Structure 1
Amino acid sequence: MKEYFAGLDIGGTNGRLKICDPHGAVLGEFTAPGCSLNTDGAEKSRLRYRDLVLPALRDMNLAPGCCAGICVAASGIDSPSDEHDCRSIFEEMGFPNKKLLVLNDCEVFLHMTEEPALVVISGTGSVCFGRDKDGTIYRTGGWNHIISDEGSGFDMGLKVLKAVGDELSGRIKCPVLTPLIIKETGLDTLEKIDDFINANLMEKSEIARLSLFAYQAAALGDHEAVRIHRECGEALWGLIRDTAAKMAGKSPEDRRNLWLWGSVLVKNQIIRKMVEEKVREGMPGTEVGIPALSALDTALKAARSLQ
């Protein structure tokens, strides 16, 4: 069987796989449900990884053992034990150990530049990584959606449910947000909201998708939806600020890049504008932008560097 390279971007909601030949020509791209190793656990992650990778390889008549390089950029790779668990799953599939690179799905973007850089992701979850001029990696946030993931889609969705619940309790008014949530979800009583949270607290993508309605309501001027955006924007700025503080003295401000990634920062223009303004004020000289390459393409690029 022929050699190939593979890049994976596995987030909490979706998993993506891209395969190319030794010359860089793309052979195929595949999508399946994602997972987060630190919240979903090793066994569920094992099944999700296999369901993404093995059917794709069978369809293309490729074998894990013929892989010339594979980069797995996955949500929830938060410790050496997480990396070990992820590596073991792919080695079990038959991928060569020396051709396997495992990274947090946020950290992969730090491979795009040799200069000091930070990357903040806000999608289903959130996290910030920084790399100083010596190559040392620093991290802030992303330690489980119950105690962390501040400024993420999940965080925003939970704030949406609280705001709607407060209106149903007669405490506040959300003239756009509450009718929109009731129309789209049917959550028109406190009991239904309570049941929804209990049923989906560990399946965080269901709560995270409510952030889309917060964006719609904020764009229409709902003051509570705007407040939710302001709080989440402040939280994401906090992740960036605190990561940069850990890098202080090691990375000149005039040579630092900040990459913004994840569905919230890429698609929600209100949040992105808030974060960009905070960075301009608090970290002058920092170059801010959305990566030209996606996490998936960056992972594939990193995989090819393993040859």
Structure 2
Amino acid sequence: MTYIIGIDGGGTKTTCLFLKADERAYPKRPLMVKGPGTNPHVVGFEEAGRRLESLIRHGMKTFSLAPQEISGAGMGLAGVGRRDEIEQMVGTMRTIFFNPYFSENLNLYITSDVHAALKGSLAPGIEKGMLLISGTGSNAVGITAAGKVVTCGGWGHLIGDEGSGYHLSLKALSKVAKAADGREEPTQMTSYILRACGLERPEQLIRYLYDRPFEKKEVAALAPCIIEASEQGDKAAVDLLKEAAEELVLHIESLVKQGVDPKAPVSAAGSILTYSQVLRNHVGKLLEDRQFGPLTDPYAPPEYGAALLGRSAGMEKER
């Protein structure tokens, strides 16, 4: 029995899947281990390589797999999308890991995390589709009729990430400030955000937010407060989520303009789309109104997509 390694490498965590080479569906009991983040722009390319090596070795030890049982590896990594980044990461992995532990002939395929996520989201036998992501950040990816992978978004929190947890949280904090001033009506988001920050009064947010620099993920962590308020019918929270839905559907419009079939299904991924029914419902309605494909759940996680891409690349190499 041989296996394909599939890796989903994010900024905060990395998941490693060992998929049987002849497996044609996502396994009911996947062989999987998890480790720290491996975005090379966060931890450096060499450190990312070392972390990936350590995680793969840990997985092989956990599941009693020998090097000769591994026929290939597919890796979808955050921060690795451009050709130069992919080439550098391939070089790093071969230098750190493949010599002498694995044969130099072992197939290695490295791509972006969103490409792997899209591949994993498609059910067996489905080749066309789009993936819409709203988590800490936001972006979308799709496959054209010609098989080209096209993207939208991914500009980061300073100039993009519309419809994301970060973007929503900033807007919610602004709503709280305006409500405290009497510039807008009171909102339940105030009490939820104060509770999440361990504060008693809105004005305490000033020192809380400005006394030290906040990381993107810390700001985005306030998004559940918006979701909670929306579930209680808070108008300000519902309006923010509807605005986010509009922004996210613009990503799908961009993919269609780039050649993706407008009727292709749209898989929803990321914590905000996963946990906010208000957002999901509005995104689904907007897609229907604009005669795009339906909003669906992903078939399988990104690490499965990475393994499939690694297997496909190996098959192409053998031809």
Query: Is the Cα–Cα contact under 8 Å of residues 284 and 294 in structure 2 kept in the other structure?
Result: no
Bigger Rg, structure 1 or 2: 2
Structure-1 separation of matches of 2:229 and 2:107: 47
Query: Is the Cα–Cα contact under 8 Å of residues 230 and 238 in structure 2 kept in the other structure?
Result: yes
Q: Which residue of 2 aligns with 1:219?
A: 231
Structure-1 separation of matches of 2:234 and 2:38: 33
What is the TM-score normalised by the length of structure 1? 0.83
Verify: 1:300 aligned to 2:284, yes or no. no
Q: Which residue of 1 aligns with 2:86?
A: 83
Query: Is the Cα–Cα contact under 8 Å of residues 110 and 119 in structure 1 kept in the other structure?
Result: yes
Structure-2 separation of matches of 1:41 and 1:146: 21
Q: 1:106 aligns to what SS in structure 2?
A: helix
Deviations 1:194-247 (A, max 9, x none): 235x1x33xx22222211121001111222222221221111111111121121
Q: What letter corresponds to residue 6 of structure 1 in structure 2? A: I
Verify: 1:146 aligned to 2:158, yes or no. yes
Structure-2 separation of matches of 1:233 and 1:163: 18
Q: What letter corresponds to residue 299 of structure 1 in structure 2? A: A
Residue 33 of structure 1, CA deviation: 3.0
Q: What letter corresponds to residue 184 of structure 2 in structure 1? A: I
Query: Is the Cα–Cα contact under 8 Å of residues 12 and 125 in structure 1 kept in the other structure?
Result: no
Q: Please, which runs of 5 or more residues in structure 2 have no aligned partner?
A: none
Q: Which residue of 1 aligns with 2:33?
A: 30
Structure-2 separation of matches of 1:49 and 1:155: 31
Structure-2 separation of matches of 1:39 and 1:120: 24
Q: What letter corresponds to residue 131 of structure 1 in structure 2? A: I
The share of aligned pairs that are identical, in percent, is 25
Q: Which residue of 1 aligns with 2:280?
A: 272
Verify: 1:157 aligned to 2:151, yes or no. no
Residues 213-222 or 104-113, more deviating: 104-113
Deviations 1:93-149 (A, max 9, x none): 226575112222222244336544222111222111122111122211102222222
Change (3 A) 1:290 1:148: same
Q: 1:18 aligns to what SS in structure 2?
A: strand
Deviations 1:264-297 (A, max 9, x none): 2222211111111111112x15243112222222
Structure-1 separation of matches of 2:280 and 2:109: 30
Structure-2 separation of matches of 1:106 and 1:124: 14
How do 1:165-176 residues align onto structure 2 when only pairs under 5 Å count?
A: 165-176=177-188
Q: Which residue of 1 aligns with 2:97?
A: 93
Structure-1 separation of matches of 2:5 and 2:77: 13
How do 1:1-307 residues align onto structure 2 when only pairs under 5 Å count?
A: 3-22=2-21, 24=23, 28-38=31-41, 41-42=44-45, 45-46=48-49, 48-50=51-53, 52-62=55-65, 67-91=70-94, 92-94=96-98, 96=104, 99-111=107-119, 112=122, 115-187=127-199, 188=201, 189=204, 190-195=206-211, 198=213, 200-201=214-215, 204-247=216-259, 252-254=261-263, 256-282=264-290, 284=291, 286-305=293-312, 306=314
Give the number of equivalent residue pairs: 297
Structure-2 separation of matches of 1:107 and 1:139: 9
Q: Please, which runs of 5 or more residues in structure 1 have no aligned partner?
A: none
Q: What letter corresponds to residue 296 of structure 2 in structure 1? A: G
Change (3 A) 1:175 1:287: closer
CA RMSD in angstroms, aligned pairs only: 2.9
Residue 63 of structure 1, CA deviation: 5.9
Structure-1 separation of matches of 2:271 and 2:32: 19
Residues 56-65 or 180-189, more deviating: 56-65
Structure-2 separation of matches of 1:274 and 1:163: 21
Change (3 A) 1:43 1:270: farther
Structure-2 separation of matches of 1:106 and 1:246: 17
What is the TM-score normalised by the length of structure 2? 0.80
Q: 1:226 aligns to what SS in structure 2?
A: helix
Q: What letter corresponds to residue 288 of structure 1 in structure 2? A: L
Q: What letter corresponds to residue 193 of structure 1 in structure 2? A: L
Deviations 1:21-66 (A, max 9, x none): 4454767311223354456653564455345434333444546676
Residues 294-303 or 110-119, more deviating: 110-119
